[in-house]
Amino acid sequence: MEPDLRRRRSFDRRFVDDHGAAPPGALDQPFVGKLPVGRDHRVARETEPGGQPPRRRQRLAARDFAARDGLVQPEVELPPERQRSIAIRRDARQPVGPGLVAGETFGSLGHHLDAASIGHVAFVHDGWPHTIPTAIARLDDSLWLHGSRSSRLYQVLAAGEPVAVSVCLVDALVKARSAFHCSMNYRSAVVYGGGVPVGGAAKREVLDRFTESLIPGSAGDYRAHLARELKATELIRLPLDEASCKVRTGDPIDDDDDLALSHWAGIIPLTTVSGTPRAAANLPAGIDLPPGLRP
């Protein structure tokens, strides 16, 4: 690919609004400045024109174009079956951007993250994009991740490189009268930022809370952490300073002309539940299931 085409495509991705369309005239403008690739990302953020980091300028541009087109209506309640998205910033704890739903605040982000045990971490390393799943836990006002200190993912996180952590939970399949309008009801969130490694006494405490978040009811049924285990584990805190949420709920949205057709339409709920605990094959006799893990 020619260099100028590569720059143009990067420009298009960074300045696409929440509706998937580039702002008017964006595709006709040349890209100027450094591309945020690999370990030079932070330098690129500081030296690009416009006085704002790329992601900040992108979100401001999306909000400005939405306001100009009359898309921002924070006082209007959308129908429950409509898909909606919100962008959340820590400083105001208020949603901004197109598709607002009145009354939806920072708490929505916590609910989505609390319901997920796996997050997909996207990052750029040595000039190549990667996305890797890892266990996550939302504790207080931060997202926590932990894994092997020797892994590429946790080396990137410990270095504070920019990452995006996404979660998605599918609540139902949405069957419409046409295949075109079939969909899913879901809750999703993306957290943006740079990781902060945590050590010392706080590391033990957070790891215990992390494990309890993943396996509720198991607290107190573990031996103490070994020093070598703590040394081999990287614990990362990702502040919830910038994030976005998207949700779809309700029935299918069919074309008016299709409503009288003799095809079934509705939702098929999907749930994830804990099954009955099964003891390990090498568990000695006489060790009972902890009360917190009993059905």
Q: What is the pLDDT of residues 171-193, one digit of tens each?
A: 999 999 999 999 999 999 999 99
Using an 8 Å Cβ cutoff, are 270 and 258 in contact? no
Containing domain of residue 28, as a range? Answer: 1-71
CA dist 218 → 214, 230, 274, 290 (Å): 9, 20, 14, 7
Asked if residue 218 belongs to a domain, the reply is: yes
Q: Do 214 and 87 fall into the same domain?
A: yes
Instruction: Tell me phi and psi for residue 111, to 5 degrees.
Output: -65, -45
Mean pLDDT on 97-125: 74
> pTM for the whole thing?
0.67
Q: Do 14 and 155 fall into the same domain?
A: no
Q: Do 237 and 133 fall into the same domain?
A: yes
CA 92 to CA 101: how far, in whole Å?
Answer: 16
What distance lies between CA 224 and its chain's CA centroid? 32
Q: Do 13 and 108 fall into the same domain?
A: no
Confidence of residue 107 (pLDDT cuts 50, 70, 90): confident
Does 36 score more than 80 pLDDT? no
Q: Do 64 and 94 fall into the same domain?
A: no
Beta strands, E only, the chain: 84-89, 94-96, 118-125, 128-139, 142-148, 162-175, 183-194, 196-197, 233-239, 242-248, 266-269
Specify the pLDDT at position 83.
56
Mean pLDDT on 236-247: 93
CA 130 to CA 105: how far, in whole Å?
Answer: 30
| CA nearest neighbour of 91 among 223, 239, 204, 233 | 239
Number of domains, the chain? 2
Asked if residue 276 belongs to a domain, the reply is: no
Q: Do 225 and 122 fall into the same domain?
A: yes
Does 248 score more than 70 pLDDT? yes
Does 45 score more than 50 pLDDT? no
What distance lies between CA 141 and its chain's CA centroid? 15
- What residues does 239 pair with on adjacent strands? 142
Asked if residue 231 belongs to a domain, the reply is: yes
Using the Cα atoms of residue 174, residue 177, residue 180 and residue 181 in order, give the sign of their dihedral: negative
Q: SS3 of 228, please?
A: helix
Q: What is the pLDDT of residues 63-98, one digit of tens each?
A: 444 444 443 333 334 344 445 566 655 443 334 333
Q: Do 172 and 50 fall into the same domain?
A: no
Asked if residue 290 belongs to a domain, the reply is: no
Q: What is the CATH number of the domain that holds 244?
A: 2.30.110.10
Does 18 score more than 60 pLDDT? no
Q: In this predicted model, which residue has the larger pLDDT, 99 or 108?
A: 108
Burial class (CB in 10 A: 0-12, 13-18, 19+), 125: middle
Cα-trace Rg, the chain? 23
